[in-house]
Amino acid sequence: MKTLQELEAIRQKTLNELNLRKNREDGIRVVVGLATCGIAAGARPVMAAFVEEINKRRLTNVTVSQTGCIGLCRLEPIVEVYLPGKEKVTYCKVTPEQVGRIVSEHIVNGSPVVEYTIGNFE
pLDDT digits (tens, 9 = 90+) for 50-105: 999 999 999 988 999 999 988 889 999 999 999 998 999 999 999 999 999 999 99
Instruction: Provide the residue type at 66 as one letter.
Output: Q
| Alpha carbon distance 53, 34 (integer Å) | 19
pLDDT digits (tens, 9 = 90+) for 16-47: 666 555 555 568 999 999 999 999 999 999 99
The region that residue 109 occupies, defined by phi over 0 for left and psi between -120 and 50 for alpha, beta otherwise, is alpha
How does DSSP classify residue 62? Answer: E
| Alpha carbon distance 121, 72 (integer Å) | 11
Q: Which domains does the chain have, with CATH numbers?
A: 21-120 (3.40.30.10)
Taking CA atoms, 64 is separated from 4, 30, 70, 80, in Å, by 29, 5, 16, 10
Question: How long, in residues, is the chain?
Answer: 122
Planar angle of CA 66, 101, 64, nearest 5 degrees: 20
Neighbours of 99 (CB within 10 A): 24
